[in-house]
Amino acid sequence: MAQFRVCPDSGFFFDKSAESLIKANAVAAAVSLLIAGFLALGVILTRWQEVHLLPADMFYQVLTAHGINALLFWIIFFEIAILYFASSTLLRTRLAAPRWAWAGFALMIIGMVMNNIAVLQGNSSVMMTSYAPMQAEPHFYLGLILFAVGALIGCFVFLGTLVIARDDRTYEGSIPLVTFGALTACIIAIFTIACGAIILVPTFLWSIGYISHIDAAMYRVIWWGMGHSSQQINVAAHVSVWYLIVGVLFNARPMSEKVSRSAFLLYILFLQLASAHHILVDPGISSEWKVFNTSYAMYLAVLASMIHGLTVPGSMEVAQRAKGYTKGMFEWLRKAPWSNPVFSGFFLSLIIFGFIGGITGVVMGTEQINIIIHNTIYVPAHFHATVAVGTTLTFMALTYLLIPLLFRRALFLPWMARWQPYVFSAGMTMMILFMLGAGTLGVSRRHWDMDFTGAMLSFEYPGTAYTMMAVAGIGGVLGVLGGAMYLIVTVGSLLFGKKLDESAGLFQSFGVPLASSAYNITQPERLPMAPKLAVEEHGSAGFEAPGTFALAMALLVCFVVYYFINWDYLGSVWPLS
Ligand code: HEM
Ligand SMILES: [Cu+2]
């Protein structure tokens, strides 16, 4: 039975059921982002003290829902779509057990709805981290558990698909790098979900009264085994997408497959240890353990990201230079397709993730200087650079690529799509930088009222802290506008975009297959092994990517200067003389 179609524009082969599942998961992701983005407006307009929009109880409720919908539902639905794409589509194979995949999807939807209802009802404003002994309603935890079980099924469908592809020999050689990266993400996901089950199942039982006590310290250690590792899933997933995008746009091949694969392996081996940076100031855990895990083990994971940060733009530079863009250090970059949102979204996310997310992450992960910014607004500033710009903007860029190929619709309002990555990243960067500044001045995170109105012990922040939070507020609003532009373009394309295939109707946008005549291939030709690249062989051919090297050196200089400033600042906060 013919069940594949070939995309005439890209040459990708789509398996009918994989295609429907990718679409359904991507649409569910977009709905989650819509909720999260709308709520982000409430959060940021409350932290902007002059506006101070929401009352206290509602602020914490909205903040809880914003964090969960953005970081869990939006990102994980999208990642499941990526897993199916990276296995079935990239390996030209049918998806394993589509019924199971749909069951997993249904569980994820039920879990998401259940958790949102719990938060909406008002008795579960426990924040994304839901630290015990704060207690939420049972369906808050149950929703998360069902969602995780659904995602776990998705991971197994992905692994099953890899097995089918290998058995059917649908590709030559080893699996492509993008699929390898997705496999890394999947392996970390299984570890993550196991930690989640270990901690959330007892917490659920506690919320219904079967268990009388949850130890707060243990909760935090295991919860972060999930909370931190899930960020590594995101990194592995978005780095894989970076490789995909440079491959599709520039025909670029990794500078060295071996190095890139080893870097993915480092994620699996060392990321979990970095979870320790979340408990750096917790009592009851020794300093040796904290310092070892964050200052030594963690750097091996950071090293992996730095390798990808070098090889992704590096491979793009090599490909561009081969096309003749060889003038000076940066012609390859200047002549890149900056008006194509697939490219601009990817490249802006790479730069902001690396420069802001990376540098602040290492600073925060250092036991000693962590104390300056612990639990301040610096922390959300850092992770918006990593997940809101790094992961989210990368996924947005991928969406622009997939709308024509997968959904068979032309982009709606292409001019808006062109501006979207710039507006979103400008707004977010402005918010991030000023929240970093305010955090360095001590402005606390997750705090409803900077003025401490009516508090027994008052505290006054310097005036600049208020100004910084106001500028962050303006940036945040701009960021939400950029997010809205993304949703207008994507939803608009699904509803009104020009049809690139006659049968790409309304229902097809939400997961129904195209007309059966579109699926006219029984089994695609075997995916051939690409010929060996010159750069993959031994011997020196000179300096392949000087521009990328210059960028890396700029990163190093920024890091060293900023690191020094923080130690200096620590010395002035806590004079030791
Ligand atoms: C659209 C623009 C966005 C704006 C303006 C925004 C703004 C904010 C602000 C101001 C906070 C709270 C800071 C505090 O008081 O502690 C926050 C928290 C958070 N945001 Fe966003 N955000 C945006 C997008 C995102 C995205 C895309 C993600 C994830 C992919 C995300 C994930 C989170 C998480 C996990 C929290 C922490 C919740 C908690 O502390 O429990 N945000 N956001
Ligand atoms: Cu972490």
Question: Using the 8-state DSSP alphabet, how is residue 406 labeled?
Answer: T
Output the pLDDT for position 57. 95
C-alpha to C-alpha distance for 288 and 449, rounded to whole angstroms: 36
User: Cα(24)–Cα(77) distance, rounded to whole angstroms?
Assistant: 9
Q: Which residues have C-beta within 8 Å of that of residue 270, sequence separation ≥ 6?
A: 297, 298, 300, 301, 304
pLDDT bucket at 373, cuts 50 / 70 / 90: very high
- The CA distance from 428 to 261, in Å, is 31
Q: Strand, coil or helix: what is 512?
A: coil
CA-CA distance, 343 to 248, in Å (whole number)?
10
**Ligand at shortest distance from the CA of 426:** 1
Whether residue 577 has pLDDT greater than 60: no
What CA–CA distance (Å, rounded) separates 112 from 163?
30
Give the bridge partners for 5, in sequence order.
14
Confidence of residue 535 (pLDDT cuts 50, 70, 90): low
* Cβ of residue 476 lying under 6 Å from some atom of ligand 1: yes
- pLDDT (0 to 100) of residue 459: 87
Of 378, 254, 352, the residue nearest 558 (C-alpha):
352
Supply the pLDDT for residue 534: 62
| Ligand number with the minimum distance to the CA of 277 | 2
Ligand 1 atom, smallest distance to 388 CA: 27
Specify the higher pLDDT residue, 381 or 537: 381
The identity of residue 191, as a single letter, is F
Residues 249-254: what's their mean pLDDT? 91
CB 130 within 8 A of CB 203: yes
Which residue's alpha carbon is nearest to atom 32 within ligand 1?
67
If you take atom 25 of ligand 1, which residue's CA is the nearest one?
Answer: 388
What span, in angstroms and rounded, lies between the C-alpha atoms of 219 and 207? 14
Residues 6+ apart with CB under 8 A from 328: none
Give the ligand at the shortest distance from the Cα of 192.
2
Q: Is the CB of 439 under 6 A from ligand 1?
A: no
Query: Which of 13-22, 71-80, 519-528 shows the lowest per-residue confidence on average (mean pLDDT)?
Result: 519-528
Does residue 379 contact residue 373 with C-beta atoms inside 8 Å? yes
Mutation pick for ligand 1 pocket among 384, 445, 469 (CB with most ligand atoms within 8 Å): 384
pLDDT score of 274 more than 80: no
Positive or negative: CA dihedral 226, 232, 234, 236: negative
Distance 317 CA to ligand 2 centre (A): 31
Residue 533: band (very low, low, confident or very high) from pLDDT cuts 50, 70, 90: low
What pTM does this model have? 0.96
pLDDT at 331: 96
479 lines ligand 1 (CB under 6 A): yes
- Report the pLDDT averaged over residues 498-502: 94
- Enter the tokens of residue 460: 């006054």
Residue 543 has pLDDT above 70, yes or no: no
Q: Is 328 exposed, middle or buried (0-12, 13-18, 19+ CB in 10 A)?
A: exposed
Which pLDDT tens digit goes with each residue over 359-369? Answer: 999 888 888 88
Rounded CA separation 475/429 (Å)? 7
Which pLDDT score, from 0 to 100, does residue 204 have?
Answer: 97
* Ligand 1 atom with least separation from CA of 33: 27
Q: pLDDT value at position 293?
A: 78
Name the residue among 226, 186, 194 with its Cα closest to residue 82: 186
Q: Which residues pair with 527 in a beta bridge?
A: 171
Tens digit of pLDDT for each residue in 129-160?
999 999 999 999 999 999 999 999 999 999 99
The rounded mean pLDDT for the chain is 93
Give residue 477's region: left, alpha or beta (phi > 0; psi -120 to 50): alpha
Judge contact between 488 and 131, C-beta under 8 A.
no
Q: What is the pLDDT of residues 47-80, one digit of tens each?
A: 999 999 999 999 999 999 999 999 999 999 999 9
Task: Decide if pLDDT at 539 tops 60.
Answer: no
pLDDT at 366: 85
Report the residue among 43, 54, 353 best suited for mutation to probe ligand 1: largest number of ligand atoms under 8 A from its CB: 43
Question: Where do we find the tokens 């730095």?
Answer: 306
Q: Residue type at 502?
A: E
Euclidean distance between CA atoms 375 and 306, whole angstroms? 26
Residue to mutate (ligand 1; options 52, 63, 78, 424; most atoms within 8 A of CB):
63
Residues 292 and 274: beta-carbon distance below 8 Å: no
> What DSSP line would sit under 260-328, residue for residue?
HHHHHHHHHHHGGGGGGGGGTT-TTS-HHHHHIIIIIIHHHHHHHHHHHHHHHHHHHHHHHHHTT--ST
Q: What is the pLDDT of residue 538?
A: 56
Cα-to-centroid distance, 391 and ligand 2 (Å): 14
- How do residues 200-217 score in pLDDT, each as one tens digit? 999 999 999 999 999 999
> Widest CA span of the chain, in angstroms?
80
Is the N-terminal amide bond of 341 cis, ω within 30° of 0?
no
- Which backbone phi and psi does 151 adopt, to 5 degrees? -65, -35
Express as a percent the part of the chain with pLDDT over 90: 79
Q: Both tokens of residue 21?
A: 């599942």
Ligand nearest to the CA of 232: 2
Distance (Å, whole) CA 320 – CA 335:
9
